[in-house]
Structure 1
């Protein structure tokens, strides 16, 4: 088994400050004359099965005349519902119904300032939790709000209470009815509904099989890690205790709903029931619970949100994500690669609820950015995105039969950390990835995480660029995300990043591919004889004398300058008379304005090909 060093390929995510800058769209809801009409509690409104099939997750009742509720798409509608005990003179009550589709990570509540009520504006985000029926409320307002639980539906949720939620803090909300008030003024009631459960079908042949023990897997998607084991921070899968459920002495075939709020075992017959078994699994994540050859039947409104996913082979799993191959009922091209972002980390004595909430928000935001960044990209050297599902923070991509350039024992020597490919491999990698980046830059996008681990390669297919989780538009504010060894020199002090930073990162990657330097990320390994690692966000922290952050900033700058010195030494070993090495030399120009563009690289490579043919 090869050693695994989690720090080797550590991509730094967006910082909390960057998440703070993200804004979500909203819609304006016109004033309604009956804003102050007498209404029944939201708990008393009857939600029909048809509403559940639509994916309705929230019922909203504004309590003020000046209203603004979001998000900015077509999944918010006025809905007339009857109460369990309706007044004959007023048989229905209008509420806003919010549907969670496969594209929705959250629901945004914006209520403008009201002069009549003399109160400030309100802005709250409600993030859907992929692992439960709960929502995470994030107070984005400039002032505290008061959150009260009105619902009596779930005794386990505790008695009614009121709690002040200060700005930029979070609160986990279970299904039921809640009220938001500000300065003693009620402004909004909303009821959280349980999500429509997914179903799981287990092949009979694998019912009594044991689960494979933890092994080291070389990831073909760009990260290296373990399958879950007892000490990886992930809870043991309930599948480890598969057992047949019998009713009246007879085994009952079918499929079981496993995402229900009370873990109820609801069984529905399947046409191929003779070949299947049901497995009772508690409330959790539909896709993360899947084992090999098991199928998740995902419910939804229409063809877009309703599909089946059959898991095949696990590629890799980390604390942040799980990657595996699968068959998708709506993707006719055979096997695809599935990437699922995880939102629940290991519990520890130092873990605060706020940390868990922030992780849900961060992972949801990364999913949204990666999906939006890649959905319109169609290039032979970029992994094709077939689709995604915000309800599970999953991405469905083309499966590439090739390992990443950082794969130990494949493209990287396990003992020396040097690239093991040939000169022709290097030229092919440069040509393919330069073409992919030229295409991305033409779209006015920046990848922000070019490195060997995000380039898949095989001699049959060539090099393919993946992992757009940190991609930004050229007009966006500069990100602190990425991997430190590939950050350009202009980031220090100036905090500049753009298309030229992708060029620099590819230049550093090509130094490794040309065997001028060992695999850069290995320097972060604990016990490495020349260990070197710093946080990107520390490079531009303002000095704060007497505080530990000042020392961190000084150390980060010093370490990056040491690393840049090593890069310049390696660059000086390039042969300027060699066409390919001369291109790499120009990609590593210290001044971004003098750095070669990907368009120019492609032009020069085309010339080289023409010369070689003649």
Structure 2
């Protein structure tokens, strides 16, 4: 599986405008007057165990004549549910049931303005929290909405009655029923259901160990439930969860056996040697320890096992480790899990809105990386096997190589210089040029070419990874990326395109050719020549003097240093001459990856055929 780059990244978040640029599909919901006039509380409707197995997370009851919801796919269906206290003669209540699959990061509600209703349209998005049962509501409407909790108040947080959510505002929502009003008009009722918890198979000796204060033994079946709430749900959880546990949810059943790629896959293995322990809260794939196996419930291919092996890297934004996946047979993969501060996980001085935005931002990063890399099949691009939006995880080909920023492997910690030789430089340039040419021919831009996003070994060669900031060539220029690799045309005219990737590869090659030290080292505190700025600040000016920002001054200094390093490139050396052309200031005159690929095909490797040897895995079709 693709190895996620282990180095700590200084990557800009998406702006609100970039997030809003992501299009959502929508479907129109037919008129159902009986739905609009139904007065049975959503809390009273019985949700069967089979509904939970489907992954249903939200029940929706529109309260207006004109209504539509998105996304427009099979994840939205009408259900007829009977109330808990209803007699058999009473008709069932019809509600929209929203299922969260492994591809869904959110559910978007769009209700247009009706001819008979004096209210503006509603647009709200409900983002799933990967670390719990709750959702994050984001008001995308042009007017405030009034959010009211219909269910009984939550003891530890109190009730929410008539709270205004301004345009662009967010709110954390716990399981239960809620109502949205615009002005005085009720527009929508919805009920959030608790998600099916993942379970964890842990070795019996690990489960018996008293050294783990965060776990407690429940039985000897060998599963641990990841629960979202801080209290011990095993003893005092909601009636819904207690009922499901009493029915033995999570135990092996014949109907949970699935077939993948012609192979029979069982939900659990080695049960006799494992135990079940409960964790009060957390994220299943972040809590799992080495040699433990997480069982992820779901329908069809959304149900799988993941056995954790070795940690590769941990940053503030992600955790990367190797694992065995029940649907990727006979192969070690790399797992990348995006972290969120999430509701309740921030520091004491963190505003709730900041944690809400973090969930939204990371969810959109996951979606962008998944979609961008899903169909990229090239020998020098990490292959994506799949992903799970429920945990913001990506499952990729494992590349047996470290990134070019790895200290002690390819980067000398004392000098911050690259530790390879000319043949390494040639192989890296040839492989990444081929990968970028393929990406550009697909109409995409990587936007974050740098040493930390290139994995390399002399056996496999160089492999490009991390497409979380990739955009289409038709998209507006993004503020994302790492500042040292941003091209001069963005500084001058806020332009980015395929030529921007070429510039970034040129800067990377200055490091690989030992013309400059590792650029990111300049951003560390205590560096004698510290230099770091935010890309988003480049075009801001001081409000009191209309002067360029400090970011602009620092980037100007950095471009001067790049220009100085260029002066040491030998134009009679084919590799260095290509790098020189990559660093042409005018993007229209800059060499393309297609031409560079042709030129590199003329360069013959010295001393054997190591440069020409590549793995067969993941070759482009």
* Residue in 2 that maps onto 1:605: 600
Cα displacement (A) at 1:252: 3.4
Aligned match of 2:285 in 281, 284, 287? 287
* Unpaired stretches in structure 2, ≥5 consecutive residues: 1-5, 236-244, 253-267, 609-621
- How far off is 1:204 after superposition? 1.6
What's 1:369 paired with? 368
CA distance in 1, matches of 2:66, 2:20: 26
User: Residue in 1 aligned with 2:227?
Assistant: 259
> What per-residue deviation string (whole Å, max 9, x for no partner) do you get for residues 252-272 of structure 1?
343232326552175747663
Whether contact under 8 Å (1:13, 1:470) holds in the other structure is no
Instruction: State whether residues 35 and 65 of structure 1, in contact with CA within 8 Å, keep that contact through their aligned partners in structure 2.
Output: no
Alpha-carbon distance in structure 1 between the residues aligned to 2:483 and 2:160: 48
Of residues 152-161 and 101-110 in structure 1, the stretch that sits farther from structure 2 once superposed is: 152-161
Q: Residues 208 and 242 of structure 1 are in contact (CA less than 8 Å); yes or no, is this contact kept in structure 2?
A: no
Distance 2:150 2:108 in 1: 21
Choose the corresponding residue for 1:274, options 272, 278, 283: 272
Distance 1:594 1:63 in 2: 59
Deviations 1:190-221 (A, max 9, x none): 0000001111110124345698xxxxxxxxxx
1: CA distance between counterparts of 2:512 and 2:366?
30
Check if 1:309 corresponds to 2:277.
Answer: no
What does residue 239 of structure 2 align with? Answer: none
Distance 1:511 1:38 in 2: 68
Q: What is the match of residue 529 of structure 2? A: 530
Spell out, residue by residue over 1:474-519, the C-alpha distance to the aligned partner (whole angstroms, 9 max, x if none).
1111100100000000011310000000000000000110111111
User: How far apart are the structure 2 equivalents of 1:426 and 1:274?
Assistant: 52
Deviation at 1:273, TM superposition (A): 3.3
Q: CA offsets, 1:581-601, max 9 Å, x none?
A: 111111000000000000000
Counterpart of 1:127 in 2: which secondary structure?
strand
Is residue 150 of structure 2 the alignment partner of residue 143 of structure 1? no
Measure, in 1, the Cα distance between the counterparts of 2:593 and 2:606. 20
Cα drift, residue 87 of structure 1: 5.1
Give 5+ residue unaligned stretches, structure 1.
1-5, 212-238, 246-250
Whole-Å separation in 2 of the counterparts to 1:581 and 1:210: 59
Task: State the secondary structure of the residue aligned to 2:126.
Answer: strand
Deviation at 1:157, TM superposition (A): 5.3
Residues 21, 575 of structure 1: alpha-carbon distance in 2 compared, 3 angstrom cutoff: same
Distance 1:160 1:603, change over 3 A: closer
Equivalent residue of 2:85, what SS?
strand
- What is the SS of the residue equivalent to 1:91? coil
Contact 1:8-1:525 at 8 Å conserved across structures: no
Range that drifts further, 13-22 or 78-87: 13-22
Give 2:488's aligned residue: 489
Q: How many residues align?
A: 572
- 1:585 is paired with a residue whose SS is helix
Of 571, 576, 581, the match for 2:576: 581
Corresponding residue of 1:15 = 15
Q: Deviations over 1:565-613 (max 9, x none)?
A: 1111111111111111111111000000000000000000112239999
Cα contact 1:7–1:524 (8 A) shared by 2: no
Q: Distance in 1 between the 2:228 and 2:486 partners?
A: 45
Within a 5 Å distance, the mapping from 1:438-449 to structure 2 comes to 438-449=437-448
Task: Between the two structures, name the one with larger relative contact order (CA 8 Å, sep ≥ 6).
Answer: 2
Residues 161 and 141 (structure 1 numbering): CA distance in 2 closer, same or farther, change over 3 Å? same
What is the CA distance between 1:427 and its match in structure 2?
0.2
8 Å Cα contact 1:263/1:283 also seen in 2 = no
Distance in structure 2 (CA, Å) of the matches to 1:263 and 1:313:
31
* Corresponding residue of 1:172: 172
2:328 equivalent in structure 1:
331
Q: Distance in 2 between matches of 1:313 and 1:7?
A: 16
User: Aligned in 2, Cα 1:190/1:244: closer, same or farther, shift over 3 Å?
Assistant: closer
Match of 1:229 in 2: none
CA shift for structure 1 position 432: 0.2
1:52-102 Cα deviation digits (max 9, x unpaired):
000000000000000111112210001111111225554211110000000
- Which residue is 1:322 aligned to? 319
TM-score normalized with structure 2 length? 0.88
Q: Does 1:555 align with 2:550?
A: yes
C-alpha contact 2:147 2:160 (8 A) present in aligned 1: no
Tell whether the 8 Å contact from 2:456 to 2:462 is kept in structure 1 after alignment: yes
Between 282-291 and 369-378, report the one with greater CA deviation.
Answer: 282-291
> 2 CA distance for matches of 1:567 and 1:372?
34
Following the alignment from structure 2 to structure 1, what is the Cα–Cα distance between the partners of residues 326 and 270? Answer: 17
Q: Could you tell me whether the CA contact under 8 Å between 1:449 and 1:470 is conserved in 2?
A: yes
Q: 1:143 to 1:496 in 2, by over 3 A?
A: same
- Distance in 2 (CA, whole Å) between partners of 1:287 and 1:36 is 40
TM-score of the superposition, structure 1-length normalised?
0.89
**Matched position secondary structure for 1:607:** coil
Please name the residue that 1:215 is paired with: none
8 Å Cα contact 1:327/1:336 also seen in 2:
yes
Report if the CA contact (8 A) 1:7-1:525 is conserved. Answer: no
Whether the 8 Å contact between 2:35 and 2:93 is mirrored in structure 1 is no
- In structure 2, the residue matched to 1:593 is 588
1:418–1:598 Cα change, 3 Å: same
Structure 1 counterpart of 2:468: 469
Would the aligned equivalents of 1:154 and 1:176 in 2 still touch at CA under 8 Å?
Answer: no
Q: Deviations over 1:372-430 (max 9, x none)?
A: 00000100100100100000000001111101101111111111111110100000000
Conservation of the 8 A alpha-carbon contact between 2:131 and 2:228: no
